[in-house]
Amino acid sequence: MKIQVLGPLSAEVNGGSIVPTAGKPRQILSLLALYPGRVMPIPTLMEEIWGTELPQSALTTLQTYILQLRRRLGTAMGPDAPGAAKEVLATRHGGYLLQIPPESVDVHEYERMVTEGRAAFEAGDDETSADRFRQALDLWRGPALVDVRLGPVLGIEVMRLEESRLGTVERRIDADLRLGRHSELIAELAELTARYPQHEGLHSQAMLALYRSGRQASALAVFRKLRIRLIEELGVEPSPQVQRMHQAMLAVDPQLDVAAGLRRTSTFDLYAA
């Protein structure tokens, strides 16, 4: 079985799709896929499907959805595996689980790559770090579970994944900056800062990439726009880290150079207290 949740939901067995067309069974499959090998409690599945207002037939209806999923699974597995669908989508006391290896689901491969990237980053191996982060991000085919209705449980899971994705992008850019790839990052960072106009980490990276590319005025303009936006929209000044980077650029601080830059730290924390 191969399941993908980092984008549109995809689940295949022997090359055949087992993704149901109905919305609620898709939610169940998605939630089970996020935690392969772990029992998903019935109350959690019910909360995802119906929220806090459960119909009287909630348990019976949930069991029907499970049967529908098993039927699709059994069809894909073929007649040579009678009863196997019930072993894969198994019933346990108080819940259900997908008995499949974690590596069958793309999100677990993504998280493994991110863990390797972070370890390499902390060890100062920027080349490996950037490569692992890039491989992790290449697994994404769009917003997580973009074609699945999100209830309260899946909504939190998708928010967590999207935050992780953005954090991985930021760490990958940190590694690329430490490798001296500042000029190559300018266009990407221009798009990211436009998409996340209050994200100080991305703005500090854009400032540094521009500064190291000989565009000091553009780097300072990024700071001015960020400051105006934060004051007008939130009533706050940029963080001390970003303000200190701005002052360092005005003073042409050698710390900003690639060769002098601190190792094992993020761009945002380059001027942490």
Low-confidence ranges of the chain (pLDDT < 70): 80-83, 259-264, 273
What is the structure's pLDDT at 229?
Answer: 96
What is the pTM (predicted TM-score) of this model?
Answer: 0.90
**Spatial contact of 168 and 117, defined as CB atoms under 8 Å apart:** yes
What is the structure's pLDDT at 75?
Answer: 85
**Spatial contact of 19 and 79, defined as CB atoms under 8 Å apart:** no
Q: In degrees rounded to 5, what are phi and psi of residue 32?
A: -65, -35
Query: Residue 30 in 3-state DSSP?
Result: helix
- Work out the end-to-end distance of the chain between its first and last CA atoms, rounded to an integer number of angstroms: 49
What is the structure's pLDDT at 231?
Answer: 97
Cβ count within 10 A of residue 56: 7
Cβ count within 10 A of residue 65: 20
What is the structure's pLDDT at 83?
Answer: 64
Cβ count within 10 A of residue 22: 10
**Spatial contact of 124 and 263, defined as CB atoms under 8 Å apart:** yes
What is the structure's pLDDT at 268?
Answer: 85
Say what angle helices 152-178 and 200-212 make with each other, to 10 degrees: 20
Give, in degrees to the nearest 5, the angle at Cα 244 between 243 and 249: 100
Measured over all CA atoms, what is the biggest interatomic distance in the chain, rounded to whole angstroms? 74
What is the structure's pLDDT at 15?
Answer: 84
Cα dihedral 146, 38, 159, 163 sign = negative
